[in-house]
A and B are shown apart, each in its own frame.
Chain A
């Protein structure tokens, strides 16, 4: 019986899709990069931010359950790389998405256990890295206001989901278990790109709304805004001693 509404979810690869060597290879790659992420995350996390970062992971778990329609008969859900990178930065962000994927595979039978390596690589690592590259670039060239942040969130989300989808296509080219005859790999890549750009737009709207809400309440908890605030710190810091000097 397969009437369950959430039998398989979004970019989560099931068992038997990729062969053993590719699954193991990407598991090793993912483990290595996650270890680096743990080391790099240390200095971003303190007593105040650690619980908030845990909440970001829980939020991504919750929103990953919310499949929205993108085409007739096709749905998608947020992956979370862009949201995580914007709120807690690329290293902590990658760990957030990775914990979500591992909980989904081990507790909810969502995404094969043997496919955890490729899944973590695509969604937690490639997705978050692609999002962060776009965020770093766009926040330099776009106006530093709510609209700039929203546009950044949407574009970073689309590129993030697209990059994760293409990473899967690469893995399938390296070690897919079925020799595709009726539909070629190029056609698969095009179809993956098309649907995941639409999913990325939906993800972008959710990401922009969430980040705008947090930025309104506590802008200091938005990682992407902290770099900007530091840039702006010199101006008031110089003004204070100057005023004191006059008095």
Chain B
């Protein structure tokens, strides 16, 4: 195996571990924008705006909110750990395929000498 392949496979393994396993230990607290977006509003227990004026006041549902991978879950899988891990691995591989595909298509065909 060449050194380049070793680095690529090592990197891919790290990506799959992060997206598939470590993702389950992520913080569930509202993030930076979400917390600021709620400033000035009163939220109910589910985090929905019920009163006041704030950035999140007129937030609308996501267009694809009922897609099979919505909110980093997998439809039909009830186990949270498995769903988060599976959606993470799927997303990482999909991103690799799309970004890698675009970069492969637009690459310069002359071999650049380092």
Task: Name A residues whose Cβ lies closer than 8 Å to a Cβ of B.
Answer: 1-17, 38, 41-43, 45-63, 65-70, 73-77, 92, 95-96, 99-100, 103-110, 112-114, 165, 168, 172, 176-183, 187-188, 191-192, 195-196, 198-199, 217-218, 220-221
Contacts and interface: CB of A to CB of B under 8 A. Distances in A.
Given A57-B95, A75-B27, A178-B58, A110 B72 contact: yes
B36 A50 contact: no
A63 B18 contact: yes
A15 B112 CA distance: 43
Contacts of B65: 109
A182 B52 contact: yes
A229 to B, nearest CB: 9
Nearest to B25: A66
Contacts of B4: 48
| Residue from A11, A38, A57, A105 whose CB has the most chain B CB atoms within 10 Å | A57
Return the 7 tightest CB-CB contacts between A and B, nearest first.
A54-B100, A16-B60, A57-B99, A5-B28, A183-B40, A62-B19, A182-B40
B82 to A, nearest CB: 14
Interface in B10-25: 10-12, 14-16, 18-19, 22-23, 25
B55 A69 contact: no
A53 to B, nearest CB: 5
| Residue from A75, A179, A218 whose CB has the most chain B CB atoms within 10 Å | A75
Contacts of B98: 57, 99, 103
Interface residues of B, number: 77
Interface in B41-88: 46-48, 52-65, 67, 69-73, 84, 87-88
Contacts, number: 273
A114 B98 CA distance: 21
A53 B99 contact: yes
Given A61-B92, A65-B26, A181 B32 contact: no
A67 B62 contact: no
B39 A187 contact: yes
A46 B104 contact: no
Given A67-B26, A67-B29, A108-B70, A58 B92 contact: yes
B111 A47 contact: yes
A2 B48 contact: yes
Interface of B: 3-4, 7-8, 10-12, 14-16, 18-19, 22-23, 25-37, 39-40, 46-48, 52-65, 67, 69-73, 84, 87-88, 90-104, 106-108, 110-112, 114
Given A61-B91, A70-B32, A54 B96 contact: yes
B54 A99 contact: no
Nearest to B23: A65
B102 A95 contact: yes
Contacts of B73: 4
A235 to B, nearest CB: 17
Contacts of B39: 182-183, 187-188, 191
A188 B55 CA distance: 9
A62 B103 CA distance: 19
B18 A17 contact: no
Nearest to B110: A46
Nearest to B46: A2
Contact of A41 (B14, B30, B88, B103): B103
